[in-house]
Amino acid sequence: MAEKAWWKRTFVYQIYPKSFQDTTGSGTGDIPGIISRLDYIKELGAGAVWITPMYPSPMVDNGYDISDYTSIDPAYGTMEDFDRLVSEAGKRGIRIVMDIVYNHSSDQHPWFLESKKDRTNPKADWYIWRDPKTEGVDTRAEETGEKTGADLAGGKAVPTNWRGIFGGSVWTWCEERQQYYYHTFAKEQPDLNWENPEVRRALFDAANFWLDKGIGGFRIDAISYIKKPAEFLDGKPDSPDGTVSVHTMTANTPGILDFLKEFKREVFEGHDIFTVGEACGVETEELTDWVGDDGVFSMLFEFTHVLLPFDGPEIWCRPKPWKLTDLKRVMFKSQEAVRDEGWLPIYFENHDRARSVNVYFDGLPNPDRTDPEGICCAADPAPENGTGGSSGTDPENSTDRAPEERRAMTPEERKLAARGLAAVLFTLRGTPYVYQGEELGMQNADWHSPEEFNDISTKWQYQNALEEGYSPEEALRFAAFFSRDNARTPMQWDGSENAGFSCAGAGSRGDGAGAEPWLPVHADFRELNAALEEADPDSVLHFYRKLAALRREREELISGSCRELLPEDEDIFCFERRLEDNCILIAVNFSRKEINLGERLKDQAAAPGGDVSAAQLTEKNRLLLSSRRDAEPGILKPLEAQILE
């Protein structure tokens, strides 16, 4: 049966407005800049644009600290600009999707400013307040100044030993109330009290305000943290400082779905929109409680595939090696979980993740310091000790040799890698999400100093690596590889000054001296930009357009079932999409050697319980799309993606 929902039949393009297009010379992107690029997005084939927060904000966390839920930050434009954006996008068949942040607000939001005044004001319990801990406190800490897992503020012990997502205690002292307030993220982002029905009503009203403006849906940030435990108790430390990650203690707390069902009933139902939740902590087995006919969202972002390098908390100086089979296992486990009910957003990049070509094809920083090059294997297979290993025997591709012999990817290979990831992105069952610049194959930036980072999370991760005993050079390597700033460098439109992102120096709205881009432009912008790729029919950009067109044309890629093939293969990411008697085979070579796909499939079929029908798929030799010009159906050249029927 064909999928009918409009958001299943298109794909979503994500914009980080601060870095997309500056029309004023302020160094910061704006809404008129987005409007000016709508034709580019339409040509790409997107039917929806998700925009990260544009509300008024002190910008401690680049807009995820909101001080007014129903206004536009003047740095981005006006409400009239926003209304025009919705209108102009609609003329091009594009829906605008807003990013809402309802776990917390800014500490500059009027609600919090009132709440902190005293313990009796009308909004006194709109946030989470607690008295200092009085039982089980190690008083020696007051005498020695040492930390015991619970920092002290003026001799007042914090209520729990929980560590925030951005580091430090989740508790900050408020002199006015003589209490601590709670924050999952930065101290400037106090958590809202969802147990208070007045808070929920205010948040629902704000969401309905934007629906009345004709938007196409919501991405809901950090929603898995809104429900807190009934008791705030210390957790088992997972860090040398005696703290435990707040994620471990609060993510997906039982009872959260009751809040979200009310959210769905009061806001989402009755509108032709989609919703996608960011809910780190939801297990694959729980997906159908969150998505599907009886779920609370249309889609839910899963994190298993982007958190492969980490066991437990996402601590960047503690990465572990992983193999292609690990990536396939978690992605197809999610596919299987929603096979009969539910729908997934398919993604490799967003504003919180490093660039995918680097993540899935470069080596990870090595925490064990056993590798002189400082890397452990990522896309190429590695054994558990992280010292190398490969299922192939090709010396150019093998990781069984000394690390210094591993050859870095060439620019052309990086383009092939970007096309390969795109082939997976557009052909798995679900709605593809493309992050700005991903369609160009943009890569991680070169960071030379911790002072260059803007991201609050990166700054903490760098400091944490130092505290765990790494040198400044090693700490910088971890931060540079995983930093969220990698995804936030300005969009590279052309080879002119500032990559065409900003007319910085021309003045702000015609008056003023102008400013440099808020984050430096990537050094490779003259060799990698949209204008160059527009002129190159073999570019990553054109391949994205071809994939989007193929997905529109072939119902199998939208409504067909999805089944993994070659699950134990360490070189090939392979699966089929089947609808009635029609079948499409997708195969991506993650290695740098040539592979006979037909032989690999025949070997699988010959194994006990093998599938003979899958082995015959390549015999028809009909190639729908390849990432290489010199393609031979069924023969995968290095890093090649083939889509066959």
| Chain-centre distance for alpha carbon 54 | 18
Asked if 11 and 431 count as a contact pair (C-beta separation under 8 A), the reply is yes
Residue 266, number of CB atoms within 10 A of its CB: 15
d(CA 489, CA 528): 13
Q: How many CB atoms lie within 10 A of CB 80?
A: 10
Dihedral (CA of 61, 65, 67, 73) sign: positive
Taking CA atoms, 275 is separated from 17, 138, 377, 530, in Å, by 20, 46, 36, 30
Give, for 95, the enclosing helix (H) or strand (E): strand 95-101
Tokens of 558: 């939208």
Question: Which DSSP string corresponds to 526-587?
Answer: TTS-HHHHHT-TTSHHHHHHHHHHHHHH-THHHHSEEEEE-TT-SSEEEEEEEETTEEEEEE
* DSSP assignment letter at 78: -
d(CA 30, CA 21): 6
Active-site residue set: 221, 278
Please give the C-alpha separations between residue 72 and each of 42, 69, 83, 213, 296, in angstroms, as whole numbers. 24, 9, 11, 13, 27
Helix residue ranges per DSSP H, 270-349? 287-290, 324-337
Query: In sequence order, what are the residues at sequence separation of 6 or more whose Cβ sits closer than 8 angstroms to the Cβ of residue 244?
Result: 161, 162, 163, 234, 235, 236, 237, 238
Answer yes or no: are the C-beta atoms of 475 and 465 closer than 8 Å: yes
In this structure, what token pair is assigned to residue 166?
């951005």
Q: Which amino acid is at 593?
A: K
Burial class of residue 195 (count of CB atoms within 10 Å of its CB; 0-12, 13-18, 19+):
middle
Residue with tokens 């008056």: 511
Q: How far is CA 356 from CA 154, 418, 588, in A?
A: 45, 8, 15
For residues 501 and 493, give the distance between their C-alpha atoms in angstroms, rounded to a whole number: 6
* Contact criterion met (CB below 8 Å) for 66 and 190: no
